[in-house]
Amino acid sequence: MVAFLVKPRTWIVPTVLLWFGVGLMPFQPTDLDIFFWSSVRQAVDGQPLQIYSSWGLALYPNANGPVSLLPLSLLGYLLNAFGQFDATELRRGAAMGLFSIFILLMAREAIAAVERLRGGPLQPPGLKLLAYGVIVLNPVTWDAVAGYGHIEQPIEIWLLLLAVRWLHERKALPAGIAFGAAILTRSSAVLMSVTFGLATLPRGWRTLLVFFTAAAGAGIAILLPFLLADQSDVIHSLFTYRGNLPVGAGSVWSLVRGGPLEPVVQHWDTVAVVALVIATNVWLSGARGLVDEARLFAAMTATSAAFALLAKTVWPYYLFEMFVFGTIWSIGTWRMAYGVIRLVLIPLALSIYVLIAEIGAAQNLPIDEVRTEGAAMFVLLGLLLLWTMWFATRVPAAAAGMAPAAVWLKQHGPEGASESPRSG
């Protein structure tokens, strides 16, 4: 019975039912209700290529690519066939249940990445179930998907993790396709171009060209039908609207609101984000690039952190990508010599940070509180980023391992005490 309960697959159906049940609970409308379902309404009404017209040229449109809208549209057609499309709570519950499958797929790839970094499966079996739980049931995951309704993020992260695995397996073509699809799932994934560029270039120019050609081809193939059908709304939603948004809450740039720098930040914050992405990725790549997966996941963590640090508006769900990639890196590269803090700091810190970030997300906060929260989050995230980069660039002090020292001593005797325990 215990062996059955510690298998992750045992908990697939209960997890889907849990997310479905949470979706049935009454709470304030999220971006899923406001943006995603309004786009799906266009598809259900017979205009699947007009999904961006529901918000048209509004200041804040549906700003992510169409990939996540495909499974949601299929669900919308099904609900509409039973006359339940406008049943808000049932619709939300069904969406949470459906997209919890992508959360599980994301977690599966995350654990597979951890095991590649560690050189073998997590043992004992209950440890793997615990690792799944850390990702699937974490406050950051709940906040992003259920709290804000950003159903696209698990798909985006899953596709990025697929791209990493396929690169590791020397499959540049499918890796590039996955990356192109990730960008058209969530726009901020385009920042990973720097990371994947430094990961593919050391493998040779052919790998780099195949990867990015495949990414561009996949992106064009997915987006072109929507562009041909509704060019103005698609371009506004996915490319141009952001420059008109004001400096918002949750960001360190809230310190310049009302000052002469505000117009500059409003239109050029992306330059600061990209500069930090390049700087951190180049630093982490060193002389060998990001061929090593441990360095690659540290760089993906840094790239995600750069967006959350320097975007002109930062919502709590922006921490989701950093949480997943940082957790993979911290568990996958943990060594007994580092102690427990090194293992749990990233997932624990980001679980706390997302709760702090909710303070800045509250409506009608006084400007002084907005600035205080934005500055505090900048310092906290910045310190976590520096800590990650410092550890990622250190020469490993010991072999990766989860086995307690007592087991090592029992097997090898006290004469092996200076050696580092290692488990598969």
DSSP string, 216-285: HHHHHHHHHHHHHH-HHHHHIIIIIGGGGSPP-TTSGGGGGTTSTTHHHHHHHHHHHHHHHHHHHHHHHH
pLDDT at 416 over 80: no
Average pLDDT of the residues in 161-172: 96
Sign of the CA dihedral running 102, 68, 174, 209: negative
The whole-angstrom separation of Cα 22 and Cα 95 is 11
Angle at 96 between CA 92 and CA 102, to 5 degrees: 150
Label residues 308-317 b or e (16+ Cβ within 10 Å = b): bbbbbbbbbb
pLDDT at 396: 53
Q: What is the pLDDT of residue 337?
A: 83
Model pLDDT for residues 332-386, shown as the tens digit of each residue: 999 888 889 999 999 999 999 998 888 777 777 788 888 899 999 999 999 999 9
Rounded CA-CA distance 323/110 in Å is 11
pLDDT (mean) for 20-48: 93
Dig out the tokens for 146 from the structure.
Answer: 């259920």
199 with 290: CB under 8 angstroms? Answer: yes
pLDDT, residue 289, reads 83
Closest among 136, 131, 139, 130 to 111, alpha carbons compared: 131
Please state, in angstroms and rounded to a whole number, the distance separating the CA atoms of residues 365 and 254.
12
Q: Tell whether the model's pLDDT for residue 321 goes beyond 90.
A: yes
What are 66-114's pLDDT values in tens digits? 999 999 999 999 999 999 999 999 999 999 999 999 999 999 999 999 9
Which tokens hold the place of 80?
């509409």
Higher pLDDT, 124 or 21: 21
The average pLDDT across 299-317 equals: 96
pTM: 0.91
Kindly state the percentage of the chain with pLDDT values over 70.
Answer: 93
Is the pLDDT reported for residue 400 higher than 50?
no
Residue 250's pLDDT is what? 87
pLDDT value for 399: 45
pLDDT of 409 > 80? The answer is no
Asked if pLDDT for residue 421 goes beyond 60, the answer is: no
Mean pLDDT, the chain, whole residue set = 89
For tokens 């493998």, name the residue. Answer: 203
